[in-house]
Amino acid sequence: MSPAVFIDANVPIYASGGDHPLKEPCAHILRGVAQDPRPFATDSEVLQHPNT
């Protein structure tokens, strides 16, 4: 099995956030991830609730 490809925490943050110049490029990356069979990983900060 190949090693996981790291997705920086900023990619899903920008893709899911408000208007920003990087919103669409980051969403494009995540659409590619969804179609790629390789394993992907990110850090736990992506999953942290903003009020915790």
pLDDT at position 47 is: 56
Is residue 40 pLDDT above 60, yes or no? yes
What is the model's pLDDT at position 51?
Answer: 58
Q: What is the pLDDT of residues 4-32, one digit of tens each?
A: 999 998 898 899 999 999 999 999 999 99
Q: What is the pLDDT of residue 33?
A: 94
Positions of E strands within the chain: 5-6, 40-41
Looking at residue 42, its pLDDT comes to 86
* Cα of 50 vs its chain's centroid, Å: 16
**The model's pTM:** 0.74
